[in-house]
Amino acid sequence: MLTANRKLIRPSLQDLSEHSPQTNGNPTKSSAGSAANAKKGIPQEQTNAENYYYVKQMQSRTPMVVVLSDGEMVRGVVEWYDRNCIKVNRDDAPNLMIYKSHIKYIYKQEDESD
């Protein structure tokens, strides 16, 4: 049986720190170029600002104006919402379920001047 001396190849800690994009959360001068090439984290899908706004308006039953992409205005109270649509309760007309993709913007009815 033949045994050969094999040398273990392992980089030193100094070599690793030179090639790493960050040290203690801060990019080093030698790795500034590699930090730009490093993969960025995936951005958060939602900030929950929209959810917070809808919940606040639903709880206080605030009269809202929903302006659709074609310019039509729908007035009512947001009853519920999900990822794709909102349900608007109206006193003088049937309730509507409106796809968010068709909404241009929304504002409180009390903010209307005139």
Give the number of C-alpha atoms closer than 13 A to the C-alpha of residue 66, restricted to the C-beta side.
Answer: 24
- Topology of domain 49-111, per CATH? SH3 type barrels. (2.30.30)
Distance between CA atoms of 90 and 64, rounded to whole angstroms? 10
Angle at 78 between CA 74 and CA 84, to 5 degrees: 90
pLDDT surpassing 90 at residue 77: yes
pLDDT surpassing 70 at residue 101: yes
Determine contact, residues 63/78, Cβ cutoff 8 Å.
no
Q: Which amino acid is at 88?
A: V
Q: What is the reported pLDDT for 26?
A: 54
pLDDT surpassing 70 at residue 92: yes
Give the tens place of pLDDT for each residue, 11-70. Answer: 677 766 666 665 555 555 555 555 556 677 777 776 788 889 999 999 999 999 999 999
Distance between CA atoms of 62 and 19, rounded to whole angstroms? 56
Going by the DSSP 8-state scheme, the letter that residue 16 receives in this structure is H
Q: What is the reported pLDDT for 72?
A: 96
Determine contact, residues 53/60, Cβ cutoff 8 Å.
no
Where do the domains of the chain lie?
49-111
Give the number of C-alpha atoms closer than 13 A to the C-alpha of residue 13, restricted to the C-beta side.
Answer: 1
Q: What is the reported pLDDT for 113?
A: 66
Q: What is the reported pLDDT for 114?
A: 54
Determine contact, residues 108/64, Cβ cutoff 8 Å.
yes
pLDDT surpassing 80 at residue 105: yes
pLDDT surpassing 60 at residue 7: yes
